[in-house]
Structure 1
Amino acid sequence: MTQGVRLTTAVAKVLAAFLDDPAADRYGLDLIQATGLPSGTLYPILVRLQRAGWVDAAWERVDPSEAGRPPRRYYQLTAQGTADARHELAVLHGQLSRGTGAPGKPRTA
């Protein structure tokens, strides 16, 4: 993967969740629910994606007493992150498909 981000299964899950709606702002609990990853796995991935320039993050501007909750940190794919994530997931899909025949067709020996 470019920019020093290694594509693991967990990273692929996070990128796929972002790509469901690349323009959407996502927050931690939302991504935890979308990926099934625990927070101890998710947040280090988000930091790595930020450092690589694939994700931007910003704190929500909200009064905690009015909202009834603490502010959320929102994450969003950058334009480059969207392009790189699509490319890397396509490459991964191609690698996983290789040697198994066409999708939906059994492999011949």
Structure 2
Amino acid sequence: MRRRRALSLAAVKILGLMLQDETAEYYGLDLCQRAGLLTGTVYPLLQRLEDQQWLESRREDIDPGSSGRPARRLYRLTGLGAREARREITALQATWQPLTPHPGTP
């Protein structure tokens, strides 16, 4: 069985944003700005998550001429993606231990 790659910090940020509203559709540049990440990090990540069936995407249905911008690719969590993202993030949070000073140190 092929071992799944651990989530990167960028993936955790993007998935965490998308989990805030699991049914919403998000576009890449907005996710970049909200997560504080570069497009060269986010777009390959979105493609990888879509390849793993955690996300699905579609082209925005607008008229670029009347809207004054090109159509965006919109991404949405799948049921599998939402479940796996919550599971992975919960497991990661369980490993975070609060830092406590060593006894005898100020």
Alignment of 1:1-109 (within 5 A): 4-97=4-97, 100=98, 106-107=100-101, 109=103
Between the aligned partners of 1:5 and 1:35, the Cα distance in structure 2 is: 21
Segments of 4+ moved more than 4 angstroms: none
> So what's the TM-score if we normalise by structure 2?
0.87
% identical aligned pairs: 38
Task: Compute the displacement of 1:34 (Å).
Answer: 1.4
Q: Could you tell me the TM-score, scaled by structure 1's length?
A: 0.85
**Structure 1 residues 55, 84: closer, same or farther in 2, change over 3 A?**
same
- Deviation (angstroms), 1:108: 5.4
What are the superposed Cα offsets for residues 25-50 of structure 1, whole Å, 9 maximum, x if unpaired? 00011101111110000001001100
Structure 2 residue runs without a partner (length 5+): none
For the pair shown, which has the larger CA radius of gyration, 1 or 2? Answer: 2
Tell me if structure 2 keeps the 8 A contact 1:14–1:31.
Answer: yes
Aligned length: 102
RMSD: 1.8
Query: Counterpart of 1:76 in 2: which secondary structure?
Result: strand
Quote the offset at 1:20 in angstroms.
1.3
Q: Report the CA distance shift for 1:3/1:62 in structure 2 as closer, same or farther (over 3 A).
A: farther
